[in-house]
């Protein structure tokens, strides 16, 4: 029983990180959450996401993690990213305080633009803070091979952050009385 | 043991929904069912499916769920949808009462047609009721990013609604006597 | 405990079948087998496969299952099929008695040829029996949508019939003493 | 309980091997490792990889396994390989002793070059040993069908060697007291 408990409590973390001259970009998936229904089943409450974390470089192979900037991709934004053609670009705009009294104070945008000649993409984040009057920009060039890893990992992650793997996993019927 | 029971009884629900001006479209997968064989094994009895639910808009960001229209995609229809080229269209015709005495009373059709310039699709449902003399039409424009989510989620779902994931999952051999 | 036994003994079966005018074609995956190593681990002993079963039609929507012809696809043959371009064809030759004294008595070939205009494929099996002096031919036209189902299902099945899903599934470390 | 122990201790092995005139190439995936966090969760410690093993032929259908050469692909190198276009090539350079006092003594390179007319690739390994003053070269031609198997198996393996399948697998919440 000890083993099962460990497994249950054990949240796991893994990310894909690329370190470049001016900044690093790290990507990791976040699980959706389900809420219980009266029927005994459960329904997805909040979609999962894919979190992008940017860190500025502060020296050779040194990055300042305290200055990180986050951008969370929804399932549809993941769909946009994985269907991006070699010469196409996309851009997303987020307001972390949307629908609160702080709406409009911080504006984030993420753009992905081709490097040219089918050789990869630039991934750029801009964070405009209207209160602190600051603008942070971080940019990470991604090779074609690195984008292929992201595309494959995000395509794998997409049905999971939508909760479809949990819906589609066969749950064996409970025996009438499962007490051992 | 309580934990295992909960897991067993717990059917899970998750859908992908896009809300547009005139209607919303929600998609969720449905598991296949298996029937027991005398050998102790089991055989697929009914394929799963992917259910499309359309809701008409009745105001800004308000949808009338009581007027929903359903369309259930078979594995082959899912195959048609996920292989759709950017300029291609497809159409499916269903009779919910096929092979019953009510055959022909209600005719449903689903069509998916390109929006043009590789920018997405129109998903249209038409329900013709010959008894009530009514025709309902609902149409939802889908962006390229949203279609990419559907394509990826449906490609993931397809082997599951066919039951192949259950066939291909290794079941460890039962010990001679597994009584605890 | 009853539930676990049932699950363990319960082999599952599911196939994808298309019924056409002159014959039907059914496809189902077969698991690989592993053999125990002295270390306690196990190594793949025999690759799985994808079995194609052809049945001739003997009337409208009636098929004679006793006259079925089988063709088993290896992982590399599955790789050939799923990478087939719209205008490409492929052909495989099997001798069910290869390396036995009956070698050469029966020759099977499977060919997949395009129907033209990106509209699907013909799947043909020819079984030449040199002892009985018979040649059986069965041919099933496959639509683009049906081939999309096969391609998706076979791409899903491929890592499983190679045993890679079992290698890549994390097995939690056994506790020192797992006796309950 | 015996069954669970067996399953836990049981590491599994499976590879995809192609045997050609001058050499054979075998490919198998290697799991990532996780390390425990104080929180009870765990974080990926070392990425998994995909190991390529080359064996020279020493006669007809005979291969000398003692002269094998290994090349381990990182997630990004796997991404490069699975996104390779039909006329593209790629090359990777490894130093097995990088950052040790033996750095530069052995240099390995792996190149994948097209066979021409969309018919497959040459996979070549060169191992230059500056101490023993030896250069070993092994080259294996891969058909389009074999490369399709590799691409599909590596695309499947990629999220697993990155640990994303473990992050994205729902772990049911532990009951307050799971002692039976």
Tens of pLDDT, residues C19-39: 999 999 999 999 999 999 988
CB C138 within 8 A of CB C63: no
Task: Name the pLDDT band for B1 (thresholds 50, 70, 90).
Answer: very low
A149 strand-pairing partners: none
Q: B42: closest CA among B161, B163, B177, B160?
A: B163
Q: Are strands D106-114 and D90-94 parallel, antiparallel or unpaired?
A: antiparallel
Search chain C and give the residue with CA nearest A170: C7
Beta carbons within 8 Å of A66's beta carbon, 6+ residues apart: none
Reported as a single tens digit per residue, the pLDDT across B8-39 is 457 899 999 999 999 999 999 999 999 999 88
- Kindly state whether B111 is in contact with chain C, defined as any CB-CB distance less than 8 angstroms: no
- Angle subtended at Cα D58 by Cα D57 and Cα D62, rounded to the nearest 5 degrees: 70
D128-145 mean pLDDT: 95
Search chain D and give the residue with CA nearest C33: D14
The SS3 of residue D26 is strand
Task: Name the pLDDT band for C176 (thresholds 50, 70, 90).
Answer: very low
Q: Could you tell me if residue D65 is left (phi over 0), alpha (psi between -120 and 50 degrees) or otherwise beta?
A: alpha
User: What are the φ and ψ backbone dihedral angles of B37, each rounded to 5 degrees?
Assistant: -105, 160
Say yes or no for a CB contact (<8 Å) between A175 and C7: no
Query: Which of A1, A13, A15 is best to mutate for the D interface (most D CBs within 10 A)?
Result: A13
Q: C: neighbours with 3+ CB pairs under 8 Å? A: A, B, D
B167-171 mean pLDDT: 80
CB C91 within 8 A of CB C121: no
pLDDT of residue C117: 78
Q: How far apart are CA B33 and CA B53, in angstroms?
A: 21
pLDDT of residue A98: 82
Residue burial B37-53, b: 16+ Cβ < 10 Å; e: rest: eeeeebbbeebbbbebb
CA trace torsion A18, A22, A28, A33 (10° rounding) = -170
pLDDT of residue D97: 84
User: What are the φ and ψ backbone dihedral angles of C161, each rounded to 5 degrees?
Assistant: -75, -20
Q: Does the pLDDT of residue B119 top 70, yes or no?
A: yes
The pTM assigned to this predicted structure is 0.91
Q: What is the mean pLDDT of chain C?
A: 89
Search chain D and give the residue with CA nearest A16: D162
Reported as a single tens digit per residue, the pLDDT across C56-82 is 999 988 999 999 999 999 999 999 999
pLDDT of residue D170: 65
Q: Does the pLDDT of residue D135 top 90, yes or no?
A: yes
pLDDT of residue A6: 38
D142-166 mean pLDDT: 97
- Kindly state whether A41 is in contact with chain B, defined as any CB-CB distance less than 8 angstroms: yes
E runs forming strands in C20-167? 23-30, 33-36, 42-46, 49-59, 62-63, 69-73, 90-94, 106-114, 120-129, 134-143
pLDDT of residue D175: 41
pLDDT of residue C177: 38
Half-sphere CA count of A65, side-chain side, radius 13 A: 2
Q: C71: closest CA among C92, C48, C56, C99?
A: C92
Q: Does the pLDDT of residue C4 top 50, yes or no?
A: no
As a whole-number percent, the residues of chain D with pLDDT over 70 amount to: 89
A20-39 mean pLDDT: 95
Q: How far apart are CA B157 and CA B138, in angstroms?
A: 25
**Burial (CB count <10 Å: 0-12, 13-18, 19+), residue A82:** buried
B111 strand-pairing partners: B91, B124
Q: How far apart are CA B62 and CA B132, in angstroms?
A: 26
CB C125 within 8 A of CB C54: yes
User: How far away is chain A from the Cα of C76, in angstroms, using its nearest Cα?
Assistant: 22
- Does C28 or D100 have the greater pLDDT score? C28
Residue with tokens 């490097």: A115
Tokens representing C70 are: 């089988």
Q: What is the mean pLDDT of chain A?
A: 89
CB D26 within 8 A of CB D150: no
Q: A168: closest CA among B171, B154, C162?
A: B154
pLDDT of residue A7: 42
Q: Which residues of B touch D172 (CB under 8 A)?
A: 3, 6-7
Tokens representing A124 are: 């750029």
Q: Does the pLDDT of residue D172 top 90, yes or no?
A: no
pLDDT of residue B124: 97
Say yes or no for a CB contact (<8 Å) between D3 and B172: yes
């Amino acid at each position: 029983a000890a083993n099962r408990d460990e497994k249950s409590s054990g949240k796991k973390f893994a990310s894909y990180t690329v370190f470049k001259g001016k900044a690093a970009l790290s990507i990791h998936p976040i699980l959706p959450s389900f809420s219980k229904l009266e029927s005994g089943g459960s329904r997805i409450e909040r979609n999962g996401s894919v979190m992008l974390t940017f860190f500025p470089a502060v020296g050779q192979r040194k990055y300042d993690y305290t200055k990180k900037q986050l951008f969370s991709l929804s399932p549809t934004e993941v769909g946009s990213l994985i269907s991006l053609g070699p010469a196409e670009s996309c851009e997303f705009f987020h307001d972390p305080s949307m629908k609160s009294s702080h709406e409009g104070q911080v504006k984030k945008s993420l753009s992905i633009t081709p490097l040219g000649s089918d050789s990869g993409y630039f991934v750029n984040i801009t964070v405009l803070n209207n209160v602190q009057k600051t603008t942070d920009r971080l940019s990470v060039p991604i090779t074609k091979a690195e984008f292929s890893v992201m595309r494959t990992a995000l395509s794998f992650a997409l049905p999971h952050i939508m909760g479809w793997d949990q819906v589609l996993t066969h749950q064996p019927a409970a025996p009438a009385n499962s007490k051992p």
